[in-house]
Homo-oligomer: A and B are copies of this chain.
Amino acid sequence: MRYFIIFSYDGSKYNGYQKQPNKKTVQGELEQVLKKINSNNTVSVSASGRTDAGVHAINQCAHFDLRNDIEESRLRKSINGLLPKDIYIKALKKVSDDFHARFNVKAKEYIYKINMGEYNPIECEYIYQYNKSLNIEEMKRALKYLEGTHNFRSFTKADDVKDDYRRTIMKTDITISAKDKITISLLGNGFMRYMVRNIIGVLIEIGEGKRKSEDIIAILKLEDRTKAGKTAPAQGLYLNKVIY
Protein backbone atom coordinates (compact mmCIF):
# COMPACT_ATOMS: atom_id res chain seq x y z
CA MET A 1 0.00 0.00 0.00
CA ARG A 2 1.43 3.38 -1.09
CA TYR A 3 1.06 6.44 1.14
CA PHE A 4 1.64 10.10 0.32
CA ILE A 5 2.67 12.56 3.04
CA ILE A 6 3.04 16.32 3.39
CA PHE A 7 5.49 17.14 6.17
CA SER A 8 7.38 19.98 7.80
CA TYR A 9 10.76 20.06 9.52
CA ASP A 10 13.29 22.29 11.21
CA GLY A 11 16.37 21.82 9.03
CA SER A 12 18.71 23.44 11.56
CA LYS A 13 18.80 20.20 13.52
CA TYR A 14 19.68 17.94 10.56
CA ASN A 15 22.46 17.24 8.07
CA GLY A 16 19.99 17.79 5.27
CA TYR A 17 17.03 15.74 4.13
CA GLN A 18 18.84 12.87 2.43
CA LYS A 19 19.95 9.80 4.36
CA GLN A 20 23.70 9.55 5.01
CA PRO A 21 25.54 6.97 7.08
CA ASN A 22 26.15 8.04 10.71
CA LYS A 23 24.50 11.42 10.24
CA LYS A 24 21.22 12.75 11.59
CA THR A 25 18.99 13.35 8.55
CA VAL A 26 15.27 13.88 8.05
CA GLN A 27 14.93 10.85 5.76
CA GLY A 28 16.86 8.74 8.28
CA GLU A 29 14.48 9.70 11.13
CA LEU A 30 11.40 9.07 8.97
CA GLU A 31 12.57 5.66 7.77
CA GLN A 32 13.48 4.59 11.29
CA VAL A 33 9.96 5.41 12.52
CA LEU A 34 8.26 3.78 9.51
CA LYS A 35 10.29 0.59 9.95
CA LYS A 36 8.76 0.20 13.42
CA ILE A 37 5.26 0.66 12.02
CA ASN A 38 6.02 -1.76 9.16
CA SER A 39 6.69 -4.72 11.54
CA ASN A 40 10.42 -4.01 11.44
CA ASN A 41 10.65 -4.24 7.65
CA THR A 42 12.76 -1.53 6.00
CA VAL A 43 10.79 1.32 4.38
CA SER A 44 12.19 3.64 1.70
CA VAL A 45 10.87 7.18 1.71
CA SER A 46 10.94 8.98 -1.67
CA ALA A 47 10.68 12.74 -1.24
CA SER A 48 10.00 15.40 -3.89
CA GLY A 49 13.70 16.18 -3.67
CA ARG A 50 16.41 16.72 -1.12
CA THR A 51 16.97 19.86 0.95
CA ASP A 52 20.48 20.76 2.09
CA ALA A 53 21.72 20.97 5.68
CA GLY A 54 20.06 23.84 7.52
CA VAL A 55 17.26 24.27 4.95
CA HIS A 56 13.73 24.02 6.37
CA ALA A 57 10.57 22.58 4.86
CA ILE A 58 7.05 23.87 5.44
CA ASN A 59 5.37 21.45 3.02
CA GLN A 60 7.79 18.79 1.82
CA CYS A 61 6.15 15.81 0.12
CA ALA A 62 7.06 12.14 -0.09
CA HIS A 63 5.67 8.67 -0.69
CA PHE A 64 6.45 5.26 0.83
CA ASP A 65 5.03 1.75 0.75
CA LEU A 66 3.91 -0.22 3.80
CA ARG A 67 2.92 -3.91 3.94
CA ASN A 68 -0.41 -3.15 5.60
CA ASP A 69 -3.41 -1.04 4.72
CA ILE A 70 -3.70 1.30 7.71
CA GLU A 71 -6.41 3.91 8.24
CA GLU A 72 -4.98 7.31 7.22
CA SER A 73 -5.59 9.43 10.33
CA ARG A 74 -4.51 6.61 12.65
CA LEU A 75 -1.30 6.09 10.67
CA ARG A 76 -0.53 9.81 10.66
CA LYS A 77 -0.95 9.99 14.44
CA SER A 78 1.24 6.92 15.00
CA ILE A 79 4.05 8.34 12.88
CA ASN A 80 3.85 11.77 14.53
CA GLY A 81 3.87 10.13 17.95
CA LEU A 82 7.18 8.43 17.15
CA LEU A 83 8.90 11.27 15.24
CA PRO A 84 11.14 13.82 16.98
CA LYS A 85 9.37 17.13 17.70
CA ASP A 86 11.17 18.93 14.85
CA ILE A 87 9.58 16.77 12.09
CA TYR A 88 5.79 16.67 11.67
CA ILE A 89 3.44 14.99 9.19
CA LYS A 90 0.73 17.50 8.30
CA ALA A 91 -1.25 15.25 5.97
CA LEU A 92 -1.24 11.61 4.88
CA LYS A 93 -3.30 9.81 2.25
CA LYS A 94 -3.30 6.57 0.32
CA VAL A 95 -2.28 6.90 -3.33
CA SER A 96 -2.10 4.55 -6.28
CA ASP A 97 1.07 2.56 -6.88
CA ASP A 98 1.99 4.63 -9.93
CA PHE A 99 2.22 7.88 -7.98
CA HIS A 100 5.82 9.01 -7.43
CA ALA A 101 6.64 11.94 -5.13
CA ARG A 102 9.69 12.95 -7.16
CA PHE A 103 8.86 12.07 -10.78
CA ASN A 104 5.33 13.51 -10.60
CA VAL A 105 6.36 16.98 -9.33
CA LYS A 106 4.93 19.76 -11.54
CA ALA A 107 6.30 22.74 -9.61
CA LYS A 108 7.92 23.74 -6.37
CA GLU A 109 7.90 26.93 -4.39
CA TYR A 110 10.82 28.01 -2.24
CA ILE A 111 10.81 31.00 0.06
CA TYR A 112 13.82 32.82 1.48
CA LYS A 113 13.65 35.07 4.55
CA ILE A 114 16.04 37.96 5.19
CA ASN A 115 16.28 40.23 8.24
CA MET A 116 17.45 43.68 7.17
CA GLY A 117 17.12 45.00 10.74
CA GLU A 118 19.26 44.43 13.83
CA TYR A 119 20.90 41.03 14.36
CA ASN A 120 18.53 38.70 16.20
CA PRO A 121 20.14 35.68 17.89
CA ILE A 122 16.73 34.06 18.51
CA GLU A 123 15.94 33.72 14.80
CA CYS A 124 19.47 33.23 13.42
CA GLU A 125 18.75 29.64 12.27
CA TYR A 126 15.47 30.67 10.59
CA ILE A 127 16.00 34.04 8.94
CA TYR A 128 19.21 35.08 7.19
CA GLN A 129 20.69 37.84 9.34
CA TYR A 130 21.82 40.23 6.64
CA ASN A 131 21.26 43.19 8.99
CA LYS A 132 21.53 45.97 6.41
CA SER A 133 18.86 47.51 4.22
CA LEU A 134 18.30 46.35 0.68
CA ASN A 135 16.74 48.03 -2.32
CA ILE A 136 13.67 45.85 -2.59
CA GLU A 137 12.29 47.50 -5.74
CA GLU A 138 15.53 46.80 -7.59
CA MET A 139 15.48 43.21 -6.36
CA LYS A 140 11.89 42.80 -7.55
CA ARG A 141 12.87 44.03 -11.01
CA ALA A 142 15.78 41.56 -11.08
CA LEU A 143 13.48 38.70 -10.12
CA LYS A 144 11.19 39.51 -13.05
CA TYR A 145 14.10 38.86 -15.46
CA LEU A 146 14.30 35.32 -14.05
CA GLU A 147 10.69 34.52 -14.86
CA GLY A 148 10.28 32.30 -17.90
CA THR A 149 12.43 29.48 -19.27
CA HIS A 150 16.20 30.03 -19.06
CA ASN A 151 19.43 28.12 -18.87
CA PHE A 152 20.28 28.42 -15.15
CA ARG A 153 23.80 27.00 -15.32
CA SER A 154 25.22 30.22 -13.81
CA PHE A 155 23.13 29.56 -10.73
CA THR A 156 23.83 25.88 -10.09
CA LYS A 157 26.44 24.17 -7.97
CA ALA A 158 29.65 24.52 -10.04
CA ASP A 159 30.45 20.80 -10.22
CA ASP A 160 26.87 19.69 -10.85
CA VAL A 161 26.92 18.22 -14.35
CA LYS A 162 23.50 18.00 -16.00
CA ASP A 163 22.21 17.21 -19.50
CA ASP A 164 19.91 20.17 -19.39
CA TYR A 165 20.23 23.32 -17.31
CA ARG A 166 16.99 24.84 -18.55
CA ARG A 167 14.31 25.41 -15.97
CA THR A 168 11.14 27.51 -15.93
CA ILE A 169 10.38 30.02 -13.19
CA MET A 170 6.67 30.78 -13.22
CA LYS A 171 6.34 33.33 -10.48
CA THR A 172 8.56 35.44 -8.21
CA ASP A 173 7.75 37.88 -5.45
CA ILE A 174 9.15 39.80 -2.51
CA THR A 175 6.90 40.68 0.39
CA ILE A 176 7.62 42.55 3.60
CA SER A 177 6.76 39.93 6.21
CA ALA A 178 7.49 42.02 9.33
CA LYS A 179 9.38 45.19 10.25
CA ASP A 180 12.69 45.05 8.35
CA LYS A 181 12.01 41.48 7.22
CA ILE A 182 11.44 40.32 3.68
CA THR A 183 10.36 37.04 2.15
CA ILE A 184 11.39 36.22 -1.41
CA SER A 185 9.40 33.51 -3.18
CA LEU A 186 10.25 31.54 -6.30
CA LEU A 187 7.86 29.15 -8.01
CA GLY A 188 9.46 26.96 -10.66
CA ASN A 189 9.16 23.62 -12.43
CA GLY A 190 12.47 22.50 -10.97
CA PHE A 191 15.43 23.82 -9.02
CA MET A 192 18.95 22.46 -9.32
CA ARG A 193 21.32 22.16 -6.37
CA TYR A 194 22.05 25.55 -4.70
CA MET A 195 20.02 27.27 -7.44
CA VAL A 196 17.74 29.20 -5.08
CA ARG A 197 20.58 30.18 -2.74
CA ASN A 198 22.73 31.27 -5.71
CA ILE A 199 19.87 33.37 -7.09
CA ILE A 200 19.41 34.95 -3.64
CA GLY A 201 23.17 35.62 -3.50
CA VAL A 202 23.00 37.70 -6.70
CA LEU A 203 19.74 39.33 -5.62
CA ILE A 204 21.38 40.54 -2.40
CA GLU A 205 24.25 42.06 -4.40
CA ILE A 206 21.62 43.83 -6.51
CA GLY A 207 19.76 44.96 -3.38
CA GLU A 208 22.92 46.43 -1.88
CA GLY A 209 23.72 48.28 -5.13
CA LYS A 210 26.80 46.26 -6.13
CA ARG A 211 25.03 45.11 -9.29
CA LYS A 212 22.09 46.37 -11.33
CA SER A 213 18.89 44.38 -11.85
CA GLU A 214 19.68 43.99 -15.58
CA ASP A 215 22.92 42.18 -14.68
CA ILE A 216 20.75 39.12 -14.11
CA ILE A 217 20.20 38.90 -17.89
CA ALA A 218 23.94 38.90 -18.61
CA ILE A 219 24.65 36.35 -15.85
CA LEU A 220 22.02 34.00 -17.27
CA LYS A 221 23.53 34.33 -20.76
CA LEU A 222 27.07 33.54 -19.60
CA GLU A 223 26.01 30.07 -18.41
CA ASP A 224 28.99 30.12 -16.05
CA ARG A 225 28.73 29.61 -12.29
CA THR A 226 31.78 31.78 -11.56
CA LYS A 227 29.98 34.83 -12.98
CA ALA A 228 27.20 34.84 -10.38
CA GLY A 229 27.56 35.80 -6.70
CA LYS A 230 27.94 34.11 -3.35
CA THR A 231 25.66 31.30 -2.26
CA ALA A 232 23.24 32.71 0.32
CA PRO A 233 23.25 30.81 3.63
CA ALA A 234 20.91 27.84 4.16
CA GLN A 235 19.27 29.37 7.26
CA GLY A 236 16.77 31.57 5.40
CA LEU A 237 15.59 28.93 2.93
CA TYR A 238 12.31 26.99 3.13
CA LEU A 239 10.72 24.50 0.75
CA ASN A 240 7.23 25.96 0.91
CA LYS A 241 5.13 23.97 -1.52
CA VAL A 242 5.25 21.05 -3.96
CA ILE A 243 2.67 20.97 -6.72
CA TYR A 244 1.65 17.70 -8.44
Contact = CB atoms under 8 A, between A and B. Distances in A.
Contact of A121 (B86, B120, B124): B86
A105 interface: no
B124 A10 contact: yes
A99 interface: no
Contacts of A58: 122
Contact of A118 (B56, B86, B90): B90
Contact of A8 (B9, B10, B87, B120): B120
Nearest to A10: B122
A89 B90 CA distance: 38
B120 A86 contact: no
Q: How many copies does the complex hold?
A: 2
A52 to B, nearest CB: 16
A194 interface: no
A85 B125 CA distance: 9
A119 interface: yes
Interface in A117-158: 118-122, 124, 126
Interface string A39-77: 000000000000000001010000000000000000000
A58 B122 CA distance: 8
Interface of A: 8-10, 56, 58, 85-88, 90, 118-122, 124, 126
